[in-house]
Amino acid sequence: MFDILVDRTYRHLFAAQVVALLGTGLATVALGPLACDLAGHHAALVLSRLAYELENILSPTLAALLLAVLSYDALFLGTALGFAASGGLVLSVLLPRPEPGSRRGFYDSTTRGIRIYLATPRLRGLLALNVAASAGGAMVLVNTVVLVRGGLGLSESAVAVAMGASGLGSMIAALVLPRLLDRLADRRVMSGGAALMVAELLGLAPAIGTAGLNWSALLLAWLVFGFGYSSVLTPTGRLLRRSSNPEDWPAVFAAQFALSHARWLVCYPLAGALMTLLGATAALVVLAGLALAGLALARRAWPARDPQVLPHRHENLPPSHPHLREGRPHAHPFVIDDLHRTWPEAQR
């Protein structure tokens, strides 16, 4: 696989992709906490998901159209200018200044987000739901081109249409979810989205095995998948904010970005290998099984009763400590921080 890096052109493309992804990661971590502050919770949920899906749908189409009239060199130059323009727009916006936090050592700063994440039951549940989303997402992102081009013998534009079906389902979910999340708990909505993805993968597998791959069935399956996928991922931002103090939001969002991409690192090659070695039906069944395991782990790690305010005690603080003004056993919105390093035992 890495033999292609002997060619200098591929080495340059690989380096450019790494740099682009580094910029994407930094932007994601920075914009995650900021979006809710600027647009409000519900608007941020909708706008961030719509922007993500529109970019996924429009970027490949626009690139294909431009390559019909431009060379690759010109396209890369235009992309670089687009990044520069985007950076200029960000610099032109008056952003709120973050409150200065306490100074921390290198180890504490670099691991703080991960430690908060793994010590919070609902975030451990989110991590397992991310595994479910990655299993299904890898099937769509990696194998759509194989199914459409190889299985159905259709054109590259058909691949874009299939990906667009998934994006359309995701955008529909983003528009519906704010009102749904006003009525239902995050855990219920996100678990329902993961269950929908599992059902879609398991439903498509026997259809392909018995009747063969069908274009209409694939579009419908990808539309349903997009709805379930977005139902899992769209509430993530507000869940992270709910589970940490404002000064820790950047660290927790960075942890989410790192952990989510670690699962992609496993699921991408797994989806490709299963498709190549075992075929579409087996790949769907195995990835559905992985998604189902993630859903089961999430429901086990994230309690159904998940109040924000938790009663707890501080046995390690002196009675005169300012935090104990309401008494040693007290209750308030609970997050992991310097004074609360473990989750209350009764609520785990």
Which domains occur in the chain, in start order? 2-86+120-300 (1.20.1250.20)
Instruction: Say how far residue 319 (Cα) sits from the centre of its chain.
Output: 43
pLDDT band at residue 315 under the 50/70/90 scheme:
confident
When mean pLDDT is compared over 55-59, 79-83, 229-233, 308-312, the highest value belongs to 229-233
Closest by CA position to 59, among listed 39, 86, 38: 86
pLDDT tens digit sequence for 255-284: 998 898 888 899 999 999 999 999 999 999
Does 161 have pLDDT greater than 90?
Answer: no
The H or E element that residue 309 is part of is strand 309-312
**Mean pLDDT, rounded, of the chain:** 82
pLDDT band at residue 108 under the 50/70/90 scheme:
confident
Model's pTM, two decimal places?
0.83
What pLDDT score does 16 carry? Answer: 67
pLDDT band at residue 118 under the 50/70/90 scheme:
very high
pLDDT tens digit sequence for 228-238: 999 999 888 88
CA distance linking residue 84 with residue 207, whole number of Å: 47
Does 286 have pLDDT greater than 60?
Answer: yes
Does 94 have pLDDT greater than 70?
Answer: no
What is the mean pLDDT of the segment spanning 307-320? 77
3-state secondary structure (DSSP) of residue 14 = helix
**pLDDT-wise least confident of 25-34, 81-90, 132-141, 244-253:** 25-34
pLDDT band at residue 39 under the 50/70/90 scheme:
very low
What pLDDT score does 40 carry? Answer: 52
